[in-house]
Structure 1
Amino acid sequence: MNETIERILNHKSIRKFEDRELTSEQIKTIVQCGQAASTSSFVQAYSIIGVKNKENKEKLAELAGNQMYVVKNGHFFVFCADLHRHELISKIEGKDLTDPLESTETFMVSLIDTALAAQNAVVAAESMGLGVCYIGGIRNNLEEVCRILNVPKKVIPLFGLAVGYPDQAPDVKPRLPFANIYHEEGYIENEEEIKKQLSDYNEIISAYYEERSGGDRNDTWTEQIADMLLKKQRQYMKGFVEGKNFSIK
């Protein structure tokens, strides 16, 4: 096992950072590593917004559910699906790209491109001895996020990424069993076997939470996910996406 694989397998979310800003060189390196990720047909349908201003960080933290590590970190990145520059391509080339830019496929490409770039950035940051935490909570109120960050049409902030020098060392959270994730030659749909795997995983996760919380928490993974999915979240999203001219066709 090489050092890169060890770092990937040791990934954990960091929610407490030292009071130490990233250098401009570190920021540039992380972004460039994000750019080096694969991109569908070289479309490169994303942008990354860096946030240093404390007041803006505090506003984003409040919108994200008062997650203060949005404020207290080395640097805060916001990853956005971006078809705005592609709309400009339409003008540069004198070709009507309205329909292709509003297709479901292009929408999916923008989401996938953004996620691939972000994960490359995470691996790069962790290789530099930094810690990270994805912040999906910025989607709680994207209208306000867009106002704060001056985001135009055809651009959707998808998630934030807090990066900095770790001031905590949490344990790695156990993932689903390999057999639950990996299928060969086709999807293996064995309901009883999957239930058995999930039951075994529930015991692992329950023990993990119990140890981590000092006995205050011992819920299972299936219980946690079922309760989370039952809560209606961000019901405005379809209208917001369409309002950003990302119409799904």
Structure 2
Amino acid sequence: MEGSFMNDVIKTIQQHRSIRKFKNTPLTQEQIDTIVRAAQMAPTSGHFQAYSIIGVTDAGVKKELSKRSGNPVIETCGYLFIFCADLYRIMTAASDNEKQQMKNNVSFAYFNQTSVTDTALAMQNANLAAESMGLGTVIIGGINGALPDLDRWLDLPEYVIPLAGLAVGVPDEHPEQKLRLPQSAVFFENKYNHQLKASVASYDKEMELYYEQRTNNKQKSNWSQKVIHMLTSDIPIEFYTDYIKSKGFALK
């Protein structure tokens, strides 16, 4: 992508790739603070700021979390951030009566969703900030494989749910960039385009070639096959639903 609007921010976004191999170099406190501050400047609905970030340096926790999530990079990255949806903070500011009113209010379900959106926006800001500093990153949703023990390891109270980890460090690899769907398959003006089969089929062919030719983890697959496999695999969703309810997040 080139043009009159190309700048360093857009270049950083366009060059994104997940890094899963890091040098043994811890982040400095200045780097950590800069990333967290960037996360805090993300847009937030109603100035709610319904998230928290936990930096994990405990080697024992990182080792167990790495094993439970199936992500060895957790142990080797320069720093691990855990991004959590957080309604606990506002609960501490409320009286007992106000707490009960909030939990009984139908809008509480809306704020549950808002907390997830706020968390995601903050994490993306942190990710972009880290990459703009020349660091590598990978977002790890697999940390939910350590639930509910992760609550205990991080001493998480009610109304706080860990959503994803962000591993950051000095890259020790430069993997091929994974192709994205064509813009015509994700961006429409005024009305949704229902005629997407041809676009997906064309993209699948590109992804098949990518998976066959990439340096590491070559495989015979494509985008739709991998996504359909994930969506048709048995996932213990009842466990996660029960876990969310146990943390005080209302489900409607």
TM-score range, shorter chain: over 0.9
- Select the residue among 65, 72, 82 that pairs with 1:68: 72
**3-state SS, counterpart of residue 238 of structure 1:** helix
Q: Specify the alignment match of 1:225 in structure 2.
A: 227
Aligned pairs for 1:237-248 (under 5 A) are 237-248=240-251
Q: Specify the alignment match of 2:197 in structure 1.
A: 195
**3-state SS, counterpart of residue 191 of structure 2:** coil
> Distance between the aligned counterparts of 1:34 and 1:214, measured in 2?
31
Match of 2:94, as an amino acid? Answer: S
**3-state SS, counterpart of residue 71 of structure 1:** helix
Shift of 1:89: 1.9
Q: Specify the alignment match of 1:24 in structure 2.
A: 29
1:184-205 CA-partner distances (Å, limit 9, x unpaired): 0121222xxx111011001100
Using the size of structure 2 for normalisation, the TM-score is 0.93
Is contact 1:140–1:234 with CA below 8 Å preserved after alignment?
A: no
Match of 1:237, as an amino acid? Answer: Y
Q: Specify the alignment match of 1:86 in structure 2.
A: 90
> Distance between the aligned counterparts of 1:214 and 1:102, measured in 2?
47
Q: Number of residues paired by the alignment?
A: 245
- Select the residue among 50, 68, 90 that pairs with 1:45: 50
Is the deviation greater in 83-92 or in 100-109? Answer: 100-109
Aligned pair 1:152/2:154, yes or no? no
- Select the residue among 167, 170, 194 that pairs with 2:172: 167
**3-state SS, counterpart of residue 97 of structure 1:** helix
Stretches of 4+ aligned residues off by more than 3 angstroms: 92-96, 213-216
> Distance between the aligned counterparts of 2:51 and 2:212, measured in 1?
39
**3-state SS, counterpart of residue 9 of structure 2:** helix
Shift of 1:101: 8.4
**3-state SS, counterpart of residue 162 of structure 1:** strand
1:87-136 CA-partner distances (Å, limit 9, x unpaired): 11212996642234872211110000000000000010000000001111
Give the % identical residues.
40
Distance 1:116 1:162, change over 3 A: same
The runs of 5 or more residues in structure 1 that have no matched partner are none
- Select the residue among 209, 212, 219 that pairs with 2:211: 209
Match of 1:63, as an amino acid? Answer: R
Is contact 1:154–1:245 with CA below 8 Å preserved after alignment?
A: yes
Shift of 1:215: 9.3
Aligned-residue CA RMSD (Å): 1.8
> Distance between the aligned counterparts of 1:248 and 1:11, measured in 2?
34
Is contact 2:65–2:146 with CA below 8 Å preserved after alignment?
A: no
1:62-91 CA-partner distances (Å, limit 9, x unpaired): 1112x1100101100000000001111212
Is contact 1:14–1:131 with CA below 8 Å preserved after alignment?
A: yes
1:152-182 CA-partner distances (Å, limit 9, x unpaired): 1000000111000000000110001100000
**3-state SS, counterpart of residue 61 of structure 2:** helix
Distance 1:198 1:24, change over 3 A: same
Match of 2:241, as an amino acid? Answer: K
Is contact 1:102–1:246 with CA below 8 Å preserved after alignment?
A: no
Is contact 1:83–1:101 with CA below 8 Å preserved after alignment?
A: no
> Distance between the aligned counterparts of 1:104 and 1:164, measured in 2?
36
Shift of 1:232: 1.9
Q: Specify the alignment match of 2:131 in structure 1.
A: 126
